[in-house]
């Protein structure tokens, strides 16, 4: 079937820690949590890197606290995926260099030399993970307003150049990429030509900022399936205290069984397949990941 690694998109979520069901009571520090997580799963997605570029020291700690062969996928910093970005998340020096009274900016608002410095900082973190042999993919989850457009293709090529030598996975959240056979064909061809990994998403359907699951492998080395849950009611709800509440969804045994069949048909097309649960409310992702692993391992 190919090599399938199953894990979750977070190991430090507040609701996960507070629920007390995944980490033993004796596991109470960041170091102990990552060591315990890595004893249970072979892969995790680093989510904190979306909110701010991690320090080299933190990346080194992640490497030291996980066993050989463990895999980190890392989410790209939010500025790079065209989300609204707090200037405070860029560090004091860059914040001062921008000389603006704005609290937040978009990628188009940032001078090229500032953006290049942020890319340089991000690549330095990637190099630490790569040197350890533990780097999987750089995960670029684009903002919902990033639509299929000639300028976007140009920007994606720019991202490809900024991340030359790294495996880059793309998750779109705008319908235009896959809303017709013609668009889907164009999107997938572009991903294949540039070595991007097409991220297969499982998420609520019939919502303006979701896309269908497109079970296509565009990079023969890697396929990624990302499971967000199917909670229509919370997807775009205003006033949630955290993103975990948005992804509050427990996959049933039947749903996991169907997903397992899809993965079993899909996985042979790539050398390795990463399956990551992003339903990160309390321990739902961890429980679902264990259950899916069990189903996939069953004879």
Span 276-287, pLDDT tens digits: 999 988 999 999
DSSP code at position 3: E
- Cα(141)–Cα(82) distance, integer angstroms: 9
Residue 257 pLDDT level (bands cut at 50, 70, 90) = very high
* 19: DSSP letter: H
Residue 240 binned pLDDT confidence (cut-offs 50, 70, 90) = low
pTM flag (> 0.95): no
Asked if 49 and 77 count as a contact pair (C-beta separation under 8 A), the reply is yes
**Neighbour tally for 276: CB within 10 Å:** 25
Cα 214 from Cα 251, distance rounded (Å): 19
What whole-number distance in Å separates Cα of residue 113 and Cα of residue 90? 13
Mind listing the pLDDT tens digit for each residue in 1-20? Answer: 679 999 999 899 999 999 99
- Provide the mean pLDDT of the chain: 93
| pLDDT 10s digits, 106-127 | 999 999 999 999 999 999 999 9
| 135, 74 contact by CB (below 8 A) | yes
Q: Which residues face 75 on adjacent strands?
A: 139
Distance in angstroms (rounded) separating the CA atoms of residues 164 and 158: 10
- 236 pLDDT tier (thresholds 50, 70, 90): low
Does residue 204 carry a pLDDT above 90?
no
What per-residue confidence (pLDDT) applies to 89?
Answer: 95
Residues 6+ apart with CB under 8 A from 146: 81, 82, 152, 172, 173, 174
Residue 14 backbone class (left: φ over 0; alpha: ψ -120 to 50; beta: rest)? alpha
């Amino acid at each position: 079937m190919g090599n399938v690694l199953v894990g979750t998109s977070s190991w430090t979520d507040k609701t996960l820690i507070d629920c007390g069901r995944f980490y033993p009571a004796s596991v109470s520090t960041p170091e102990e949590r990552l060591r315990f997580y890595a004893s249970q799963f072979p892969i995790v997605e680093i989510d904190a890197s979306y909110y701010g570029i991690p320090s080299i020291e933190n990346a080194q700690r992640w490497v030291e606290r996980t066993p050989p062969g463990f895999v980190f996928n890392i989410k790209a910093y939010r500025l790079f995926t065209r989300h609204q970005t707090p200037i405070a998340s860029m560090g004091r020096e860059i914040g001062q260099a921008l000389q603006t009274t704005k609290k937040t900016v978009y990628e188009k608002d940032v001078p090229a030399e500032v953006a290049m410095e942020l890319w340089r900082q991000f690549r330095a973190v990637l190099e630490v993970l790569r040197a350890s042999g533990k780097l999987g993919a750089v995960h670029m989850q684009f903002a919902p307003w990033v639509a299929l457009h000639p300028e976007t293709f140009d920007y994606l090529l720019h991202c490809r150049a900024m991340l030359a030598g790294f495996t880059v996975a793309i998750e779109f959240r705008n319908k235009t990429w896959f809303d017709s056979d013609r668009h889907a064909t164009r999107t997938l061809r572009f991903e294949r030509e540039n070595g991007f990994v097409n991220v297969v998403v499982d998420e609520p359907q019939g919502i303006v900022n979701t896309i269908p699951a497109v079970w296509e492998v565009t990079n023969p080395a890697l396929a990624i399936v990302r499971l967000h849950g199917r909670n229509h009611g919370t997807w775009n709800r205003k006033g949630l205290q955290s993103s975990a509440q948005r992804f509050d969804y427990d996959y049933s045994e039947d749903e996991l069984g169907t997903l397992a069949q899809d993965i079993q048909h899909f996985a042979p097309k790539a050398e390795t397949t990463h399956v990551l649960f992003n339903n990160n409310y309390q321990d739902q992702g961890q429980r679902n990941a264990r259950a899916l692993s069990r189903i996939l391992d069953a004879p």
